[in-house]
Amino acid sequence: MNADRPLLEVNALKKHFPIHGGLLGQVTAKVYAVDGVTFDIRRGETLSLVGESGCGKSTVGKAILRLFSLTEGEVYLDGERIDNMRAGKLRMMRKRVQVVFQDPFSSLNPRMRVRDILAEPLVNFGMVHGRRDLNEKVEALMDKVRLPRDAINRFPHEFSGGQRQRIGIARALAPGADLIICDEAVSALDVSVKAQIINLLADLQDELGLALLFISHDLATVEHLTHRVAVMYLGKIVELTDRRTLFAESHHPYTRALLSAVPVPDPTARRQRVILKGDVPSPINPPTGCRFHTRCPFVFDRCRVEEPLLRPVGDGHLSACHLNQVPGGQVLPTAA
């Protein structure tokens, strides 16, 4: 363990998917799914990756898990480069980085009892010594996610959606993960169950010092869980800062638009909704200059030709917008 470095470092990650066409199946175009993303996560920290569907956030998670190779960039876990690891060492990396997906039903084998679902990673990673040890470890996992021990002989279809997500979390904890990637892990749950799962993740983080990469299309979901937020648009991070700053003093027009859709708890308070025009452009042919310029309410000439870089605009606060360089420009006018 390298205590001076973040647990996870992602440097200039790019993932472009080729599109094959023509008679010879040659590459005719590319999907620029992730196009130069940099961030890190410390032990015990939650970083949320937030953006609309198709912005590349799930591709970032899958690239960290090495479900495919990177086009460019580097990923380090505990100071060790993992994006080019060979198969033998990759196995140890997979023990430390686990994932919880949106749909627990399709990610849990319907023919396996919960006991076997949780036993599988324990056995595969050589973490048990005999049947009694295995049973104790499976029961301890059930305790951790607050499921009754006597449910271990049931099948996934005998549980509710929230309970199935608890099984998914227990399976991710089984190998002793340091980092859990939660890919829209609560998006399919109703509001009260969603809150219970978020509270469970927060408690587990306190207890185990877990780092969480929380991928979500919804800022409201991450508000009570996250330490920092990275907002993605069309394959790039456009703003990255701590939770308080993001919700109180966001700089980027896209973040402002996402925030305007977050419900305000006080019914007497008013928040002006920013309705973005048009759809997210295709990642096959992203706009020149600022990728957000086709929808931005504050677009000006420079935005169409020059890409804004992600620059510091405050302590630990990065934003990619030309308005940040206009004196007073970071205080955005109210959108019409």
Distance, CA of 138 to CA of 144 (rounded, Å) = 10
Assign 199 to helix, strand or coil.
helix
Instruction: List the interface residues with ligand SF4, window 220-279 (CB under 6 A).
Output: 253
Identity of the residue, 67 or 309, whose beta carbon is nearer to ligand SF4 in the bound complex: 309
Q: Applying CB under 6 A, what is the total number of residues that bind ligand SF4?
A: 12
Of 10-18, 116-124, 173-181, 289-297, the window that binds ligand SF4 (rule: CB under 6 A) is: 289-297
Distance, CA of 290 to CA of 309 (rounded, Å) = 9
Distance, CA of 141 to CA of 123 (rounded, Å) = 14
Q: Which of 202, 218, 298, 330 binds ligand SF4 (CB under 6 A)?
A: 298
Q: What is the CA radius of gyration of the chain?
A: 21
Identity of the residue, 165 or 319, whose beta carbon is nearer to ligand SF4 in the bound complex: 319
Q: How many residues does the chain have?
A: 336
Contact between 296 and ligand SF4 by CB under 6 A: the answer reads yes
Identity of the residue, 258 or 290, whose beta carbon is nearer to ligand SF4 in the bound complex: 290
Contact between 283 and ligand SF4 by CB under 6 A: the answer reads no
Of 55-63, 164-172, 277-285, 297-305, the window that binds ligand SF4 (rule: CB under 6 A) is: 297-305
Residue located via tokens 């227990």:
170
Q: Which of 114, 290, 310, 313 binds ligand SF4 (CB under 6 A)?
A: 290
Of 14-22, 72-80, 277-285, 320-328, the window that binds ligand SF4 (rule: CB under 6 A) is: 320-328
Q: Which of 13, 210, 308, 310 binds ligand SF4 (CB under 6 A)?
A: 308
Of 19-27, 133-141, 216-224, 298-306, the window that binds ligand SF4 (rule: CB under 6 A) is: 298-306
Assign 189 to helix, strand or coil.
coil
Contact between 322 and ligand SF4 by CB under 6 A: the answer reads yes
Distance, CA of 72 to CA of 60 (rounded, Å) = 12
β-pair type (8-21, 26-41): antiparallel
DSSP secondary structure letter of residue 52: S
DSSP calls for 222-253: HTTT-SEEEEEETTEEEEEEEHHHHHHH---H
Instruction: Give the shortest CB-324-to-ligand SF4 separation in angstroms.
Output: 8
Contact between 144 and ligand SF4 by CB under 6 A: the answer reads no
Contact between 323 and ligand SF4 by CB under 6 A: the answer reads yes
Q: Which of 164, 221, 292, 318 binds ligand SF4 (CB under 6 A)?
A: 292
Contact between 54 and ligand SF4 by CB under 6 A: the answer reads no
DSSP H stretches of helix in 36-177: 57-64, 87-96, 104-107, 114-124, 130-144, 161-173
DSSP secondary structure letter of residue 159: S
Distance, CA of 106 to CA of 258 (rounded, Å) = 30
Distance, CA of 232 to CA of 240 (rounded, Å) = 9
Q: Which of 57, 95, 194, 293 binds ligand SF4 (CB under 6 A)?
A: 293
Identity of the residue, 105 or 298, whose beta carbon is nearer to ligand SF4 in the bound complex: 298
Residues within the interface to ligand SF4 (CB under 6 A): 253, 290, 292-293, 296, 298-299, 303, 308, 321-323
